[in-house]
């Protein structure tokens, strides 16, 4: 049984962090958080099942696909590894939550003590159980899914970690960027302008050099949380995730380029990108809910090595019209990250942050604050819109007073309707960081705009703003107790 711990940051049962994806799955299974589906085809069935399960209910289970027709027994795929509060808490080693905001608060508390922990290099690891080299390479030996009907190909990398070394500063970045199979020994990556991997790749290309790369396609979900969310430039995702584990990751250096791969990864591809060698990439159903961005020419990677465990498990994170199999976990992570970042920037008085799933975990973010001075609300909104974790493809930031629950859309919209004067309380930021996945961008535009909606009571009127018409908590409790039986029979207990 999973139980809350007193004082400790970890689960009672799990004093040690999980070693790898397999141990994570075992823990999630024990918590009743994984369903197994046998016999689903790689061609559209897995993607559609992920949609059906994740659209059916909140906090959906992870899906472990097994016995894939046409593929060797033992090859599995996992969709939605972290997509519930419980599984997120297991991945991050946080106490079992009662409410998603518990994870957000726990993340923010963790970050007050969090220090990056660099990985340890080892020479052996399960990822080396099998190594396919050069002519032996065939990435389609794995049951790579075709996720959506109009996708341009099968995507081996969705829940992936793309590893590159910054040629200027000798640090390694790990980002989640989609990887499409072109043929048995070629894949292509789509990396949006501004992403660390894109900045690093451009440094190699400007110097006329190929850009070496590893693509890990199945690993500890904590690495996916690190790779799929914006950290600061220069902070290695292994170090950040190691800081959450409280222990270093073990890494093995790849044969060709000496890039670090998780020693316990399931499948890792190695190759390099060359500026002028390109292939058609996309379209791909994306997290905003659209096949945004037309197919484009993207650098092609000739895969020269494939490292994989026996009976490998391929990770799937399938973007789609929200909710998806990762959007909930991204909302929780993002909320914690934005809260942490605005406080690091010096802001006081934040009482809650929530990032809404309908906005693809990026486009509708809400901060609650206890106002302490005139201008506090705008400062909060501008920081949340501009910080690293809140900037890419943002759209709306709403700031509410502390009596409004930022995760309750009804509450938030009530605050907007009653505390925000459109002509004076909505600020715009122009030419902000977006990218081709933004369905509103056309071929001629490369940035978007932001609305910062100040839905706080005007600071100067806090003392005499009309009182909220609602029973006091004491009165409510008293009446609830007196009429408890009746209220229970009508489902209002
Ligand atoms: C499931 C998933 C898929 C993603 N796919 C892409 C992608 O194909 N291209 C991209 O630029 N960003 C993608 N992202 C967003 C990046 O992973 C995110 O911006 C991350 O911060 C990138 O790492 P970096 O900050 O080191 O560049 C994806 C995120 C997730 C969670
Ligand atoms: Mn990064």
**74: Cα within 13 Å, side-chain hemisphere:** 8
Best of 228, 239, 318 to mutate for ligand 1, by most ligand atoms within 8 A of CB?
Answer: 228
173 lines ligand 1 (CB under 6 A): yes
How far is it, in rounded angstroms, from Cα 250 to Cα 242?
A: 10
C-alpha radius of gyration, the chain, whole number: 23
> What ligand has the least distance to the C-alpha of 197?
1
Is residue 8 scored above 80 in pLDDT?
no
Q: Which residues pair with 368 in a beta bridge?
A: 352, 400
Locate the ligand 1 atom nearest the alpha carbon of residue 435 and give its number.
11
Query: In the prediction, which pLDDT does 4 show?
Result: 40
C-alpha 232 to ligand 2 mean position (Å): 6
Query: In the prediction, which pLDDT does 131 show?
Result: 98
Contacts of the segment 476-480: beta carbons below 8 A, 24+ positions apart: none
Query: In the prediction, which pLDDT does 6 show?
Result: 37
Distances (CA, A) of 88 to 229, 322, 355: 14, 18, 15
Q: What confidence tens digit (pLDDT) does each residue in 87-135 have?
A: 999 999 999 898 889 999 999 999 999 999 999 999 999 999 999 999 9
How far is it, in rounded angstroms, from Cα 377 to Cα 415?
A: 13
Mean pLDDT within 200-226: 98
201 lines ligand 1 (CB under 6 A): no
158 lines ligand 1 (CB under 6 A): yes
Share of the chain above pLDDT 90, in %: 94
C-alpha 172 to ligand 2 mean position (Å): 8
C-alpha 164 to ligand 2 mean position (Å): 10
Query: In the prediction, which pLDDT does 7 show?
Result: 37
Mean pLDDT within 238-246: 97
Best of 158, 172, 174, 195 to mutate for ligand 1, by most ligand atoms within 8 A of CB?
Answer: 195
326 lines ligand 1 (CB under 6 A): yes
Tokens 């934005």 -> residue: 338
Mean pLDDT within 372-380: 98
C-alpha 173 to ligand 2 mean position (Å): 5
Query: In the prediction, which pLDDT does 15 show?
Result: 79
- In this structure, the chain runs to a length of 493
Comparing 4-8, 53-57, 148-152, 333-337, which segment has the lowest mean pLDDT? Answer: 4-8
CATH 3.40.1670.10 assigned to 345-461: yes
Q: If you average pLDDT over every residue of the chain, what do you get? A: 95
Instruction: List every span in the chain annotated with CATH 2.30.110.10.
Output: 115-316
- Has this prediction a pTM greater than 0.85? yes
- Among the listed residues 429, 418, 424, 431, the one whose alpha carbon sits nearest the alpha carbon of residue 451: 429
C-alpha 171 to ligand 2 mean position (Å): 10
Comparing 32-36, 241-245, 270-274, 290-294, which segment has the lowest mean pLDDT? Answer: 290-294
Query: In the prediction, which pLDDT does 12 show?
Result: 36
How far is it, in rounded angstroms, from Cα 36 to Cα 115?
A: 36
**Measuring from atom 1 of ligand 1, which residue has the nearest CA?**
317
Query: In the prediction, which pLDDT does 13 show?
Result: 57
Locate the ligand 1 atom nearest the alpha carbon of residue 179 and give its number.
8
334 lines ligand 1 (CB under 6 A): no
How far is it, in rounded angstroms, from Cα 255 to Cα 123?
A: 11
Sheet holding 120-121, edge to edge: 120-121, 250-253, 260-262
Query: In the prediction, which pLDDT does 86 show?
Result: 94
Predicted confidence band of residue 170 (pLDDT cuts 50, 70, 90): confident
Mean pLDDT within 212-217: 98
SS3 content of the chain, % helix, strand, coil (to 5): 30, 25, 45
175 lines ligand 1 (CB under 6 A): yes
For the four alpha carbons of 351, 356, 360 and 365, in that order, the dihedral sign comes to: negative
Instruction: List every span in the chain annotated with CATH 3.40.1670.10.
Output: 345-461
Best of 176, 218, 331 to mutate for ligand 1, by most ligand atoms within 8 A of CB?
Answer: 176
**Measuring from atom 16 of ligand 1, which residue has the nearest CA?**
228
284 lines ligand 1 (CB under 6 A): no
* CATH code reported for the domain at 115-316: 2.30.110.10
Distance of CA 93 to the CA centre of its chain: 16
> What ligand has the least distance to the C-alpha of 228?
1
Share of the chain above pLDDT 70, in %: 97
Structure tokens at 300: 């092609």
Q: What is the DSSP letter of 367?
A: E
C-alpha 109 to ligand 2 mean position (Å): 22
How far is it, in rounded angstroms, from Cα 17 to Cα 93?
A: 7
Q: What confidence tens digit (pLDDT) does each residue in 332-368 have?
A: 999 999 999 999 999 999 999 999 999 999 999 999 9
Q: Which residues pair with 337 in a beta bridge?
A: none
210 lines ligand 1 (CB under 6 A): no
Q: What confidence tens digit (pLDDT) does each residue in 418-459 have?
A: 999 999 999 999 999 999 999 999 888 999 999 999 999 999
Query: In the prediction, which pLDDT does 385 show?
Result: 98
For the four alpha carbons of 406, 412, 418 and 424, in that order, the dihedral sign comes to: positive
């Amino acid at each position: 049984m999973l139980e809350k711990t007193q004082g400790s940051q970890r689960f009672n049962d799990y004093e040690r962090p999980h070693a790898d994806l397999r141990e994570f799955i075992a823990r999630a299974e024990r918590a009743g958080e994984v369903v197994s589906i046998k016999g689903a085809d790689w061609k559209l069935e897995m993607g559609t099942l992920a949609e059906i399960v994740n659209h059916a209910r909140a906090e959906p289970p992870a899906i472990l696909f097994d016995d894939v027709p046409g593929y060797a027994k033992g090859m599995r795929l996992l969709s939605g590894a972290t997509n519930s509060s419980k599984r997120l808490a297991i991945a991050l080693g946080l106490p079992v939550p009662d409410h998603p905001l518990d994870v957000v608060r726990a993340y923010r508390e963790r970050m007050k003590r969090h220090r990056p922990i660099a990985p340890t290099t080892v020479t052996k690891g399960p990822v080396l159980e099998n190594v396919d080299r050069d002519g032996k390479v065939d990435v389609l030996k794995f049951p790579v899914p075709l996720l959506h009907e109009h996708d341009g190909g099968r995507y081996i990398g969705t829940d992936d970690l793309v590893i590159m070394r910054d040629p200027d500063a000798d640090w390694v970045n790990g980002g989640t960027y989609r990887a499409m199979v072109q043929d048995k020994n070629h894949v292509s990556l789509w990396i949006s302008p501004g992403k660390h991997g894109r900045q690093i790749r451009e440094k190699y290309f400007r110097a006329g050099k190929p850009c070496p790369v590893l693509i890990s396609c199945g690993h500890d979900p904590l690495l996916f949380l690190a790779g799929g969310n914006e950290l600061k430039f220069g902070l290695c995702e292994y170090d950040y995730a190691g800081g959450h584990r409280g222990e270093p990751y073990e890494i093995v250096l790849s044969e060709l380029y000496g890039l670090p791969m998780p020693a316990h990864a399931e499948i890792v591809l190695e190759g390099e990108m060359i500026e002028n060698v390109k292939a058609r990439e996309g379209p791909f159903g994306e997290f905003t809910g659209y096949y945004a961005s037309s197919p484009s020419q993207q650098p092609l990677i000739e895969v020269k090595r494939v490292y994989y465990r026996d009976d490998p498990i391929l990770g799937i994170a399938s973007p789609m019209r929200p909710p998806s199999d990762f959007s909930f976990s991204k909302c929780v992570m993002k909320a914690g990250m934005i809260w942490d970042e605005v406080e690091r920037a010096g802001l006081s008085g934040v009482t809650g942050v929530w990032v809404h799933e309908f906005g693809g975990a990026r486009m509708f973010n809400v901060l609650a604050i206890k106002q302490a001075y005139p201008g506090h609300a705008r400062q909060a909104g501008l920081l949340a819109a501009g910080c690293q974790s809140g900037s890419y493809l943002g759209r709306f930031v709403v700031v509410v007073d502390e009596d409004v629950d930022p995760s309750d859309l009804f509450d938030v919209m009530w605050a907007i309707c009653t505390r925000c004067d459109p002509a004076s309380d909505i600020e715009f930021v122009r030419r902000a960081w977006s990218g081709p996945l933004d369905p509103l961008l056309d071929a001629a535009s490369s940035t978007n705009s932001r609305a910062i909606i100040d839905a706080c009571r005007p600071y100067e009127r806090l003392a005499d703003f009309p009182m909220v018409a609602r029973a006091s908590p004491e009165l409510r409790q008293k009446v609830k107790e007196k009429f408890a039986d009746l209220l229970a029979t009508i489902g209002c207990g």
